[in-house]
Amino acid sequence: MNSRRFSLRCTFAVLVLAIITTIAVPVAGQDTERPQELIAAERLAAAGDWDQIIVSLTQLIQRLEAGPGDARSGKLLIEAYEKRALARLQTGDRPNATIDFTALLQIDPNYVFAAPSPGIMNVFEETRKSTLASLDVALTPEDAIVVLAKDGATSPETAARIGSQWLAAGSYRITARKIGYETRTEQVELRPGKAQRLPIELRRTTAVLRVRTIPTGVSVRVDGELKGTTQAASDGDPRSEMLVIDGIVPRATPYRLQMEKDCFVSTTAELMVPPLEIWKGVAAADPLAWDPDRYYDQVSLRRAFGTIAVTADQSNAVVSIDGERRGTAGTPIRDVCRGDHSIDVRSPGGQFSQRVRVELDDEVRVQAKLIPTYGIVNAALQKGSPGVPGDLAAVVKAVRASDLNLVPIELAEGDLASLVSATDDSLRAATDRLLQRFDIQGIATLATVTPDSEGRDLELRLLARGSSKPDVLRFSLKNETSVRGVIATLEQQVAVVRPSIGIDAVDVMRVEGAVVTGVDPNGPSAKTIAPGDVIVGIGTNSIVDVATLMAALAKTTDATVSVRLRDKSAPITIAVKSSRTVLRGIGLTFSTAICQPR
Amino acid sequence: MTSRWSSTGALCVAVTLVLCWTTAPLWSSQSAAAQAGDPAAALFKAADAVRVAGRTDEAISKYQRIMAEYPSSPWAARSALETARSMVGQGKWEPAMRQMEIVRLGFKGTPEAEQALERNTILHRLRLRQGQPVYRFARTAVDGRALLRRVINVDMDSKGRVYVATRQSSVVLNESGGIVSQEPTNDLRGLAMHGDVPIWFYERGTREGTNALVSIAISDQNRQREPDIQAGAVVSGEAMLIADRRTKAVHRVSMSGGYQSRLALVDAARIAVGPLGEAAAIERETGALLLIAPDGKTRPIPAAGPGYMFRGPIDVAFDPLGHLYVLERDSVVIFAPTGEFLSVFAPGSAAGAFRTAAAFHVDAAGRLYVYDEDAERLQVFQ
């Protein structure tokens, strides 16, 4: 007897200890900011003060039920109901403990309860069976997605379990869907304490196309219709994420699949989608017969490059394609995407632009004739200045020259004032700032003036880079002769003529004279001077380096010069060739000063 | 007169451009360098990178872009020089000379103009001067007498000071051969200049100028080991190469002595680094000559070829254009950056003749400073 009493006492003690532990231990994974009531409950459980636990948790439950009803509140409520139920069981209040379990299960019908004893588990499970309904969803295919929504509930659809699950009693709308299959929706009425089985079989309706590409960003079209663009994989895989395209219905003719991206060679494929019937043969030898989906797991697109080879009539001309600097003229640019491109070639002396079409593996040759571009402004924009009434573009059109671009630009009043009023160095500085800003070779201002004897009432003032004195041209749009005169002047080319003996020369340390490095085979020195020779005299001038050689030649006015070479006793006579350098489109006195030719 | 055929064709425009550079402050941006980020500097760095990677045409294109877009930037002059150097690397020495002259005339008074003159002097000596000895004896720079014995390396700074590493001492001499300093040591293994500062290579580490010795630890099969340094060189001021006898390899270490990587399995007795980071090494046991690319790939230079035959290379050096000079006991064999054999300088019995050369130095203008062990003299050839 004593031993039985001892055994009962022990059992009771173990149970109490288990309940204390269940109440006192926070639910795993809960956040650290726990309500005071739960913390107090844990403390009180250790002291066995069940009544006070019930009071404390009741306050918490009331507060949570009046709260926002979010996920965190839901979790806390479940914990509070569970602990209050356990405390009530401890005080012998089973009816109210059942109410707590019922409330808990309404929040989470499939709650996994770690009961401290089989008896308490029985209470919990009995409550579940009597208040909830069981639904067993059998799905074909098994990987379809099922969502359910309770009628009248404001909460969104939730993913449902496949197989058996507990649900609160009520009316439900259950939707099963899978890409490539019809979507089915079923309405079920669940009653408390009742189990219900719901088989759902989805029917195949379309094939699904899955595409993964290298590179990413490839547009995928089916029969010309854009179906999507492949996206970069998040794991660094060079292949894109799988692009899934639904709605490929069976038909007798093939689909035309096209994958394309700028600067890559498009790829096409034909896609047959056979009738639905043959997909049912799961055991068929041909996988395509039972899997209607089509996989393009690694479609690689080849780069579609062509070459643009630009040659320019000025050295070191910078070539830009579609606004991006790509190199210098003379060096072919081999990685130009197929398609239409805008080519811009610039040097300090001029600009050139052209649109070209580049085809795959093709080379487009562009001969750039760089001509200066002047920004033209209407001086009337400045208050008090004599401007040009009417359309500036009309004037630009009238005086258009083939070797000089005039491009209307807009200047702020202060900039224009500095152009009109400044002189010499300040004007040069102001001009150069503007040229830098607009990336042009000169600035032209147009203004009306008092007509002269020939009726010329317009004045065009042109300022080139580095120049402080404008070239001034007068004309009248009513006088065609004067307009032609302006055009002729703008197109005039300045020839810089310099005497030459047709050699290249450099300076070398400890060598007095100009060391010849190259001789023009068609020039006047071809048979008399050789690379390696050292020129030490021209006429009566001693030549100590290249600079003195150039100076001596520049002064030469005779048709021939006497050249003395080191290590050769007798001077040689060489014809002087007048070599002409053309600075195109800058045929104006001051505007020639892009830089002074030697 | 640099303009080819005197101002016809494209080079005329180049000359015009040069003059634009000289007048650049009048019309260009105030200072490209002053702009945030200095795009010219960034582009120059990019050009250098592709040049070192061996994409010379692309590098030249980038250098030319700097010259066109930032003509008033200091990088324009450097770009013009690098363009010329790249051309030499491609074997186009004639346009390189013209390019160099453009730098000389367009950037008067700058260090680049001076370098252009020095480099044209090299090309004139090696390429243009036909039918004449490549070098002539100029003078005796240092009369070593009993002072300089068992010389390992000779080098110079920009002020003309001569630095000599011997088996017994490190010696610094002034331009006229007078001793500036001398420090006895028994574990000196080499010498290389880092700008104007000598880097002395000892058996276990390096010493920069008169600073304390910095020990170097070699990583060998995941262990740190003391090296047995045989020779050393500086890679463009960025790093050092050391030839380690223990691992029979050339290793790359930082200027502060930190170990970086093993460059190549070459047991080198002498080593030199060229302007593009390529190294030349004389193998210790075989005397074979090897070129080591910056990525560690090695390429042997044949012991004999049309016009030359090695009998026992003593020392190696590069000039600023990348020409390779190989010192033998009584001669110097010169190769172009392309690997093409250029010439042999063997003074024979002429003035300044050497028969027991131990070390040499090639300066910025390609002058040779050869130390003859028996004559105990450092002689200059130009």
Three-state secondary structure call for residue B362 = strand
The pLDDT of residue A29 is above 70: no
A-facing residues of B in 102-141 (CB < 8 A) are: 104-105, 117-118, 120-121, 124, 128-130
Confidence of residue A12 (pLDDT cuts 50, 70, 90): low
- pLDDT of A144-160, one tens digit each? 888 888 877 666 666 66
Beta bridge partners of B273: B279
Nearest one of A46, A44, A70 to A57, comparing CA atoms? A44
What sign has the CA pseudo-torsion A588, A594, B2, B5? negative
pTM of full prediction above 0.80:
no
Tell me the DSSP string of B292-341: E-TTS-EEEEPSEETTEE-S---EEEE-TT--EEEE-SS-EEEE-TTS-E
Q: Quick one: which of B314, B351, B319 has its CA closest to B335?
A: B319
pLDDT-derived band at A16, boundaries 50, 70, 90: low
Q: Which of B5, B13, B68 sits opposite A500 (nearest CB)?
A: B5
Q: Which residues of A touch B104 (CB under 8 A)?
A: 506-507, 546
**What pLDDT is stored for residue A593 in this prediction?**
29
Distance between CA atoms of B209 and A523, rounded to whole angstroms? 55
* Residue B16 predicted with pLDDT over 50: no
Between CA B233 and CA B39 the distance in angstroms is: 32
Which is more confidently placed, A574 or B20?
A574
Contact A146, A165 (CB under 8 A): no
Confidence of residue B358 (pLDDT cuts 50, 70, 90): very high
Task: Say which DSSP state A434 is in.
Answer: H
Distances (CA, A) of A463 to A276, A375, A468: 78, 10, 7
Round to the nearest angstrom and report the end-to-end CA distance of chain A. Answer: 129
Work out the average pLDDT over B164-168. Answer: 91
Would you state the structure tokens that stand for residue B309, as one six-digit string?
Answer: 């035959």
| C-beta separation of B200 from B188 below 8 A | yes
Instruction: Return the H-helix or E-strand segment holding B181.
Output: strand B179-184
- Record the tokens describing residue A164, joined without a space: 């058996």
Query: Does residue A551 sit at the B interface (CB-CB below 8 Å)?
Result: no
Question: With an 8 Å Cβ cutoff, are A501 and B57 in contact?
Answer: no
Give the C-alpha separation, B153 to B141, whole Å.
15
Residue A366 distance to chain B (closest CA, Å): 17
Residue A493: count of CB within 10 angstroms of its CB: 11
Q: Does B12 touch chain A (CB under 8 A)?
A: yes
Amino acid A596: pLDDT: 29
Region of A343 (left: φ > 0; alpha: ψ -120 to 50; beta: rest) is beta
Task: Determine whether B319 is exposed, middle or buried from the number of CB atoms within 10 Å of its CB (0-12, 13-18, 19+).
Answer: buried
**Residue in A482, A574, A508, A586 with CA at minimum distance from that of residue A537:** A574
- pLDDT the model gives residue B330: 93
Model confidence at A390: pLDDT above 80: no
The first and second tokens of residue B117, run together, are 């003159």
Name the residue of chain B whose CA is nearest to A434's CA.
B27
The pLDDT value given to residue B214: 92
Q: Phi/psi at A337 (nearest 5 deg)?
A: -65, 145
Residue count of chain A, please give it: 598
Instruction: Give me the pLDDT at residue B237, please.
Output: 63
Rounded to whole angstroms, what are the CA distances from A174 to A13, A165, A194?
A: 48, 13, 18
Task: Report the mean per-residue pLDDT for chain A.
Answer: 80
Whole-angstrom Cα distance, residue B167 to residue B182? 13
Band (pLDDT 50/70/90 cuts) for residue B95 is confident
Cβ(A504)–Cβ(B7) under 8 Å? no
Higher pLDDT, B271 or A318: B271
Type of residue at A521:
P
What mean pLDDT do residues A59-87 have?
A: 89
Q: Give Rg (Cα) of chain A.
A: 46
pLDDT in the model for residue B12: 32
Which is more confidently placed, A417 or B18?
A: A417
As a whole number, mean pLDDT of residues B252-262 equals: 91
Q: Are the C-beta atoms of B276 and B294 separated by less than 8 Å?
A: yes
For residue A29, give both structure tokens.
Answer: 């994974």
Q: What is the 3-state secondary structure (H, E, C) of B27-64?
A: HCCCCHHHCCCCHHHHHHHHHHHHHHCCCHHHHHHHHH
Q: Is-contact A97 A123, C-beta < 8 A?
A: yes
Cα-Cα end-to-end distance for chain B: 26
CA distance linking residue B316 with residue B319, whole number of Å: 10
- Is the confidence at residue B277, as pLDDT, over 90? no
- Cis bond before residue A215 (omega within 30° of 0): yes
pLDDT at B99 over 90: no
Amino acid occupying residue B20: C
Average pLDDT over residues A268-295: 67
Would you call B15 an interface residue with chain A, using a CB distance cutoff of 8 Å?
Answer: yes
Strand A132-140 and strand A195-201: the pairing is parallel
pLDDT for the residue numbered B15 = 33
| pLDDT at residue A581 is higher than 70 | no
**pLDDT tens figures, B23-59:** 232 223 333 333 446 778 888 989 988 888 888 888 8
Asked if residue A104 has pLDDT above 60, the reply is yes
* Inter-residue contact B314 to B328 (CB < 8 Å): yes
| Least confident piece of the model among A486-490, B343-347, B372-376 | A486-490
Q: What average pLDDT does the structure give for chain B?
A: 84
Q: Which is nearest to A561 in space by CA: A540, A547, A580, A544? A: A540
Chain A residues whose beta carbon lies within 8 Å of the beta carbon of residue B120: 506-508, 515
Helix (H) or strand (E) holding A495: strand A494-500
B-chain residues within 8 Å CB-CB of A577?
Answer: 6
> Could you tell me the pLDDT band of residue B240, with boundaries at 50, 70 and 90?
very high
Measured between CB atoms, does A27 come within 8 Å of chain B? no
Q: Is A579 on the interface with B (CB under 8 A)?
A: yes
A586 phi, psi to nearest 5 deg = -125, 45
Query: What pLDDT, on the 0 to 100 scale, is given for residue A425?
Result: 64
Residues A284-304 have a mean pLDDT of 74
Q: pLDDT value at position B13? A: 31
Q: How far is CA B136 from the centre of its chain?
A: 21
Is the pLDDT reported for residue B115 higher than 90? yes
Interface of B with A in 56-85 (CB under 8 A): 57, 60-61, 64-65, 67-69, 71
Query: Which of A73-87, A381-395, B272-286 has the lowest average pLDDT?
Result: A381-395
**Phi, psi values for residue B205, rounded to 5°:** -175, -165
| Token duo for residue B16 | 């015009």
Q: Of A349, A518, A598, which has the smallest distance from its Cβ to B94's Cβ? A: A518
Predicted confidence (pLDDT) at residue A381 exceeds the cutoff of 60: no
Please give the pLDDT value at position A542. 92
Phi, psi of B309 (to 5 degrees): -155, 120
Residues B124-163: pLDDT tens digits? 999 998 778 889 898 888 886 667 888 999 999 988 899 9
Cα separation, A436 vs B28, in Å, equals 7
Is the pLDDT at A384 greater than 80? The verdict is: no
Indicate if the pLDDT at residue A17 is higher than 50.
Answer: yes
CA–CA min distance A485, chain B (Å): 29
On the question of pLDDT at A285 being above 70, the answer is no
Candidates A435, A504, A577; nearest CB to B2: A504
ipTM of the complex: 0.82
**A28-37, A116-125, A560-569: lowest mean pLDDT where?**
A28-37
Cβ of B5 within 8 Å of Cβ of A579? The answer is yes
> A377 near A411, Cβ under 8 Å?
yes
Q: Does any CB of chain B come closer than 8 Å to the CB of residue A554?
A: no
The pLDDT, as a whole number, for residue A492 is: 60
Integer Cα distance of A328 and A312 in angstroms = 9
| Residue bearing the bigger pLDDT, A343 or A279 | A343
C-alpha span between B68 and B66 (Å, rounded): 5
pLDDT in tens, B173-225: 888 888 899 899 888 999 999 989 999 999 999 999 888 999 999 987 778 88
Where does the pLDDT of residue B361 fall: very low under 50, low under 70, confident under 90, or very high at 90 and above? very high
Token pair of B75 as six digits: 């990088």
* pLDDT value of position A161: 66
| Contact between residue A354 and residue A374 where contact means Cβ atoms under 8 Å apart | no
Q: Do B98 and B1 touch, CB atoms closer than 8 A?
A: no
Q: Is B87 on the interface with A (CB under 8 A)?
A: no
d(CA B84, CA B252): 29
Mean pLDDT, to the nearest integer, of B84-92? Answer: 91
According to the model, what pLDDT value does residue B309 have?
A: 92
Domains (ranges, CATH) in chain B?
A: 10-128 (1.25.40.10), 137-381 (2.120.10.30)
